[in-house]
Amino acid sequence: MKNEELTTDEYDALELVRRGVKRATAGACVLRNLKKLSGLKMMEATRDGRIVLTEKGQQVLFLRRCVTALGALAADPGSAVDADVARFLSLKSHIAPRDSGGYVLTEKGRETLDDILRQQQRR
């Protein structure tokens, strides 16, 4: 996947489409970003007028949720993490379960989060 920088507004549009919208009631946020995000193959308009996420769009949103979870766990190990995100991050050895419940970042998770933050600062 190329390094495609998205704005907060574009991420919001993807999230709105994930929840389900129709072209007639899509809203300004979705319509404003539809051209770029469909060009990046993250969403598409179907023949019946619905706007849906592509697999790539779903992956982008999932990765964003993973990065958000890493940041939340770095700030507070007791933070809630969605089950699918926790499963993925555990499989990748970025987080580990705590005895008292919840998760804690592993060394690999800290390195990954530091790398992500460094890349964001360069932009």
- Per residue, what are the HEC states of 54-120? CHHHHHHHHHHHHHHHHHHHHHCCCCCCCHHHHHHHHHCCCEEECCCCCEEECHHHHHHHHHHHHHH
What's this model's pTM, rounded to 2 decimal places? 0.84
Q: Is residue 1 part of a domain?
A: no
pLDDT at 2: 53
Q: What is the mean pLDDT of residues 73-100?
A: 92
Q: Is residue 88 part of a domain?
A: yes
Residues 68 and 105 in one domain: yes
pLDDT at 116: 92
Angle between helices 55-75 and 8-19 in degrees, nearest 10: 110
Number of domains in the chain: 2
pLDDT in tens, 50-73: 888 999 999 999 999 999 999 999
Enclosing domain of residue 106: 63-122
